[in-house]
Chains A and B, each alone.
Chain A
Amino acid sequence: MKADGIIEDYAIGGAMAVLFYAEPTRTYDLDVFVLLPESGQEIVVLTPIYDWLQRRGFAPKAEHIMIHGVPVQLIPAYNDLVKEAITEARQHDYDGVSVQVTPPEHLIAIAFQTGGRKRRERAFQLLETTDIDRGKLDELLSRHSIRSPGSDHE
């Protein structure tokens, strides 16, 4: 998809990305952040991605696409933080295949920015069990004006 110019870049996000850094938590889908080529349009158009996938036998259904038994949700980079998560994605190896994964500091920042109980839990799980660059995380939170939960009590 990247080689064909359908997307500029990508990074695995959500619970599957957390899996690369922390202990397993249950999820039923795979989130992939995608950076789309500049189209000059205000509206995000996913048609080229869906067309590309359909030509390869992967049919979209609502917001997911079943790819080899895994429901995948392609999420266009919706703000600067997510764009940065993609451009700074870490390369990981999965069974000999190189995959791009959102860095843990960005996963935490996105979780705090988006909110929601499950996301916050995963963020704290990363904070407790993973080697997080606290300086980088603080800088991210500050630059993107994100308040961490509990900062009201500090």
Chain B
Amino acid sequence: MSDRAGSSEDLVAALFCSKAEWHRTQARTPIKEKVRILLELQRQDHPLLKRHRRLEWWERPWEIEP
């Protein structure tokens, strides 16, 4: 039982570790690529945000190239 609990804890620790590493890798992405991701996030989130509240005039995806 304790062995199983131990391996489960190890698994969770490993998952958190790989997640943290993924975030660090994302942080090291070149700035131009980050802006491209940001533009994509804006496009994805906009319809969802619009459904939940009235948006300000400036809260819309930027029509720019990164």
Interface residues of A (CB under 8 A from B): 19-29, 61-62, 64, 66, 68-71, 92, 94-95, 125, 128-130
B10 within 8 A of A: no
Interface pair B41/A130, CB less than 8 Å apart: no
Interface pair A70/B26, CB less than 8 Å apart: no
Q: Chain B residues with Cβ under 8 A from A128's Cβ?
A: 20, 23
Shortest CB-to-CB span from B16 to chain A, Å, is: 11
Interface residues of B (CB under 8 A from A): 20, 23-24, 26-27, 29, 31-32, 34-35, 37-38, 41-42, 45, 57-64
- Interface-central residue, B37, B62, B64, by most chain A CB under 10 Å: B62
Q: For the complex, what is the distance from the CA of A22 to the CA of B25, rounded to whole Å?
A: 9
Q: Chain A residues with Cβ under 8 A from B24's Cβ?
A: 129
